[in-house]
Amino acid sequence: MKKPILFFLLAAPLLFVASCDSNSANDNPNPHPTIDCTENPEACDLTLSNNTFGFKLFQELQKEEADMNIFISPMSVATALSMTVNGADGQTRADMMATLEQNGLTIEQANAGFQQLLTLLPALDPAVQLQLANSIWYRQGFPVRQEFL
């Protein structure tokens, strides 16, 4: 009776170790993908802005719902608000960009950064999908500048 138990105690760890395969289909050849900031400076600047904005947004939401789990997409929120920044001007634009932590960026740099990020992010890791579905709707008859559209 002791021999089968001893055999099992010795064989079980060996079977467990042998069943571990380090070549998983989900392995990423680059576990820490990065964006080349020399080729995409706007994307890097915008990433810093978006990270700061995202953490501040989460902190504000957490204050209101301290005992709740919160799931948000700061990238989606920043993208949607940045779309509206393009329709703002003067102090309103400056205030919106400050809220988005885009203080040191021009509107052109922010737009270029979003364009670069939305192109680069899906390519960094093939196991990750990024799908944003933001749109701006306005009332028919509301005057909208052509450059905003």
Q: pLDDT digits over 60-103, tens only?
A: 999 988 888 888 889 999 999 999 998 899 999 999 999 999 98
The residue that leads in pLDDT, 122 or 16, is 122
Task: Give this prediction's pTM.
Answer: 0.69
The residue written with tokens 């500048």 in the block is 145
User: pLDDT tens digit string along 19-40?
Assistant: 454 545 455 566 666 777 778 7
Q: Is residue 108 part of a domain?
A: yes
Question: Is 145 domain-assigned?
Answer: no
Per DSSP, helices labelled H in 68-106 are 74-85, 90-99
> What is the number of structural domains in the chain?
1
Query: Which has the higher per-residue pLDDT, 149 or 107?
Result: 107
CA distance 76 to 119: 15
Query: What count of other Cβ atoms lies within 10 Å of the Cβ of residue 81?
Result: 17
- CATH of residue 66's domain is 3.30.497.10
